[in-house]
Homo-oligomer: A and B are copies of this chain.
Amino acid sequence: MPALTPSDKALVPFVSVDHMMKLIHHIGVEEMMAGIADYIEADFKRWELFDKTPRVASHSEKGVIELMPTSDGDVYGFKYVNGHPSNTKAGLQTVTAFGLLAEVASGYPVLLSEMTLLTALRTAAMSALVARVLAPKNARCMAMIGNGTQSEFQSLAMKRIVGIEEVRLYDIDPAAIRKCAANLKGQGLRVTECTSAEDAMEGAEIITTCTADKQYATILTDNMVGSGVHINAIGGDCPGKTELAPAILHRSAIFVEYPEQTRIEGEIQQLAPDHPVTEFWQVLTGAAKGRTSDSQITLFDSVGFAVEDFSALRYVRDRIAGTDLFHPLDLLADPDDPRDLFGMLQRAKG
């Protein structure tokens, strides 16, 4: 009599939101972002191995639903993620996500995970990894413009990975500034609540913009940005959504994840399609230069790329091994005789 209970192959480890929070606290949020940054760095250094494609987007009036697949030849991964700026009015997240890893050789999933929290961590980890490479040496102060979901993660990742000591917060909504400041209390950063974007940028070597629901907004105008800073532009990440005045882009050395995607979604959608940009992975491998002078403005036009999610999922897969921070999910039908799915179904009747 064939077994009725699912085999190991049928059970996919699933990391719920609750498990992810426990994993983050088990490791420590800063330590986990540093670990994810290391995985991203390792994967970006072998960039050419990856099967890359711009994400597959389904747009509607209210937002976008995207699938972000990639593969390194051994492991396949994808993320489901939505972006709906008006969700917050209904008490919902702007962005929710989950992701999956599978074995390329068999096509069998090996990890399913929540990724709303994980995306927050990997986005901040990526920003801080890039800033570690491109920001002025000994940067100690960051302006954090836009104090929503990403703001605390960005601040702590920049502290842990770049070594900043002060964040200067600004948001058009004072309640968001207060929320961010309260959350960052006791986290080892000097936190300054500011009254304008200009005020926030006072003395900052790193300027992070992360606002959510403006169409072609201009968060930074040209005259606000002095020489020598590093701009970490997170919020412009879909067609029609940008944060920086084009004049700033023209003064900056621009670094991107995957040009094919960034030219559609990033700040550089405002520029000519052949405007020169540097792929960040090439800076890591030494194939391209990073910052070349103290007075240069470096700009990371971040939109988020599938490889970063792949790295974050790899990290989670490695870290949950040997813990009880996952459920075995009965996701895959696994008949004893692989051609006998019908027989498995019939035997389950009894």
Query: Would B331 and A60 count as touching, CB distance under 8 A?
Result: no
- Copies of this chain, count: 2
Contact A332 B116 (CB under 8 A): yes
The yes or no answer to A300 lying at the interface (CB within 8 A) is no
* A107 adjacent to B84 (CB under 8 Å): yes
Q: How far is the CB of A54 from chain B (nearest CB, A)?
A: 11
Tell me the residues in window 122-168 of chain A with beta carbons closer than 8 Å to chain B beta carbons: 147-149, 151-153
A333/B105 in contact, CB under 8 A: no
Q: Which residues of B are found within 8 Å of A14, using beta-carbon distances? A: 329
Of B91, B148, B330, B344, which is within 8 A of A16 by CB?
B330
CB of A301 closer than 8 Å to a CB of B: no
| A25 at interface by CB-CB < 8 Å | yes
Does A49 reach chain B (CB closer than 8 Å)? no
Given contacts A21-B348, A341-B149, contact A106 B92 (CB under 8 A): yes
A93 at the interface (CB under 8 A from B): yes
Q: Is the CB of B92 within 8 A of A96?
A: no
The verdict on A188 contacting chain B, using a C-beta distance below 8 Å, is: no
Interchain CB contact under 8 A, A343 and B94: no
Query: Residue A338 at the B interface, CB < 8 A?
Result: yes
Among B20, B80, B343, point to the contact of A183 (Cβ < 8 A).
Answer: B343
Residues on the B chain within 8 Å of A277, using CB: none
| Main DSSP-derived SS at the A contact region | mixed
Q: Which chain B residues border A21 with CB–CB below 8 Å?
A: 344-345, 348-349
B-side contacts of A149, CB under 8 Å: 338-342
A338 and B91 form a contact (CB under 8 A): yes
Contact check, A60 vs B105: say whether CB atoms are below 8 A apart. yes
Q: Which of B116, B182, B335, B336 contacts A341 (CB 8 A)?
A: B116
Specify which of B24, B65, B104, B329 is in contact with A345 (CB 8 Å cutoff): B24
- B341 and A93: CB pair below 8 A? yes
- CA of A153 to CA of B25, assembled, Å: 48
Instruction: Please give, as numbers and ranges, the residues of chain B lying within 8 Å of A148 by CB-CB distance.
Output: 339
> Within 8 Å of chain B (Cβ to Cβ): is A287?
no
Q: Could you tell me if A333 and B96 are in contact, using CB atoms closer than 8 angstroms?
A: yes
If A183-B346, A338-B91 touch, whether A58 touches B71 (CB-CB below 8 Å) is: yes
Cβ of A42 under 8 Å from chain B: no
A267 CB within 8 Å of chain B: no
Given the complex of chains A and B, what is the CA–CA distance between A349 and B348 in angstroms?
Answer: 41
What 1/0 mask marks residues of chain A from 1 to 15 whose CB sits below 8 Å from any chain B CB?
A: 000001001100010
Q: Is A102 an interface residue (CB 8 A)?
A: yes
Q: Is the CB of B67 within 8 A of A331?
A: no
Q: What residues of B have a CB within 8 angstroms of the CB of A120 in the complex?
A: 341-342
Q: Which B residues are CB-close (under 8 A) to A337?
A: 179
Q: Which 4 A-B pairs have the closest CB atoms?
A: A82-B107, A116-B333, A16-B330, A152-B342
Given contacts A56-B69, A149-B342, 11 further A-B contacts (CB under 8 A): A20-B333, A63-B106, A80-B100, A80-B102, A93-B338, A93-B341, A96-B108, A114-B333, A147-B339, A149-B338, A179-B337
